[in-house]
Amino acid sequence: MTRLNKFIADSGITSRRKAEELILQGRVTVNNKTVTTLALNIDLEKDVVSLDGEKIKPNEHVYYLMNKPKGVVTTTDDEKKRMTVTDLLNLKQKIFPIGRLDYNTTGVLILTNDGDFAQRLIHPKNNIIREYEVKLDKPLEPEHEAALLKGVFIEGTRGKFIAVKFRKIKDRKNIVVQCTEGRNHFVKKMFTTINYTVEKLHRSSFAGIVPDIPIGSFRKLTKDEIQKLSK
């Protein structure tokens, strides 16, 4: 069941607030009956909603993979007017990124207009694995590697990596970490806590999806990928 104004807004024709105005103006019908209450929930499978006599088509869900470049924000509206990931995609539909990547972080970002799908992928109980390539300011000491795997406290809550790998023998500055946390700035905070600075951050996998396209580009997720992610 979906609120009537949300259904109208999700279809892409107007905002939720404007949809409320259309309802109050008596321009919206549900199953051929004019509806002027804002409290109505509709069944997407059965109910037919029309505006000025014309049927409103439900918005189709879309799913994109972006290999996020540096210098772009993942919020949909930036108060400093910086370029956003949705500006980059430039689609007609209103879509949003699933989770966040920092301004200068690159890598996998999934964007959609399917709120339930997004919720499932960010809900902590689903333990979605994120993998990051990290460049540190100095080599990671073995004792700190152990601490990151055991868990350290960031802002009073324990956080840990489930894997720490080294990309090259004898190079302990360039590492790969895996975690199931989506807290803001999680990777950077984990390292700041033990006095390292993250100089470069790239998300190399999110829920098994890897950035197989050049940085700064995007593609639709395949049906197969959407199905796997929905499970």
Residue 201 near ligand URA by CB under 6 A: yes
- Report in angstroms how near the CB of residue 135 gets to ligand URA at its nearest: 13
Contact 190, 91 (CB under 8 A): no
137 assigned to active site: no
DSSP string, 30-83: ETTEE---TT-EE-TTT--EEETTEEPPPPPP-EEEEEEPSS-BSSSS-TT---
3, 172, 173, 185: which one contacts ligand URA (CB under 6 A)?
Answer: 185
For residues 157 and 198, what is the distance between their CA atoms, to the nearest angstrom?
Answer: 20
Judged by beta carbon, residue 37 or residue 195, the one nearer ligand URA is 195
In the chain, the amino acid numbered 202 is H
The single-letter DSSP state of residue 108 is: E
Contacts of 163 (CB under 8 A, 6+ apart): 149, 176, 177, 178
Q: Which residue is catalytic, options 102, 137, 212, 224?
A: 102
If the CB atoms of residues 166 and 186 are measured against ligand URA, the closer one turns out to be 186
Alpha-carbon distance of 180 to 202, in angstroms, equals 16
Q: Least distance (Å) from ligand URA to the CB of residue 123?
A: 17
Q: How far is the CB of 172 from ligand URA (least distance, A)?
A: 19
Residue numbers 58-117 binding ligand URA by CB under 6 A? 101-102, 105
User: Which of residues 86 and 105 has its CB atom nearest to ligand URA in the complex?
Assistant: 105
Instruction: Enumerate the active-site residues.
Output: 102
Residues that bind ligand URA (CB under 6 A): 101-102, 105, 185-188, 201
